[in-house]
């Protein structure tokens, strides 16, 4: 007989725990940018900020922790200025490349 596991018994998965290197962060952001979803980008930057330490990212970006949490929640639509400041604080840059059909 097969043993069943309840979903509530499974451990929570937190992607922030797996973003250990700059390459991990860059690969994750690249995948998110390919989705072309601004809300998902805000959420992803929030995940990366948690992985790097929200307080440190807030300080480096010139935002308060509260403003950072608010700007990077999944339903947020942050201004480009905020995205640029957070990317700078995280040590990443958004790169444009031609789309080939």
For residue range 74-86, list pLDDT tens digits in order: 888 899 999 999 9
Cβ atoms of 75 and 39 within 8 Å: the answer is: yes
Q: Domain ranges in the chain?
A: 19-90
At 88, list the tokens: 């700078």
pLDDT at position 70 is 93
pLDDT at position 18 is 86
Mean pLDDT, the chain, whole residue set: 89
- DSSP structural state of residue 71: H
pLDDT at position 30 is 92
Q: Sorting pLDDT into bands at 50, 70 and 90, what band is 1? A: low
For residue range 31-75, list pLDDT tens digits in order: 999 888 888 899 999 999 999 999 999 999 999 999 999 999 888
Q: Which residue has the tokens 């790097």?
A: 52
Taking the model in full, what pTM does it have?
A: 0.81
State the sign of the Cα–Cα–Cα–Cα dihedral 67, 72, 74, 75. Answer: positive
């Amino acid at each position: 007989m097969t043993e069943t596991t309840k979903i509530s018994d499974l451990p929570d998965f937190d992607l922030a725990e797996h973003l250990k290197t700059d390459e991990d962060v860059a690969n994750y952001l690249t995948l998110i940018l390919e989705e072309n979803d601004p809300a998902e980008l805000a959420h992803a930057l929030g995940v990366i900020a948690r992985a790097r330490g929200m307080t440190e990212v807030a300080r480096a970006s010139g935002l308060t922790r509260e403003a950072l949490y608010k700007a990077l929640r999944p339903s947020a639509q942050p201004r480009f200025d905020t995205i640029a400041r957070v990317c700078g604080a995280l040590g990443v840059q958004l790169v444009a490349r031609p789309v080939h059909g």
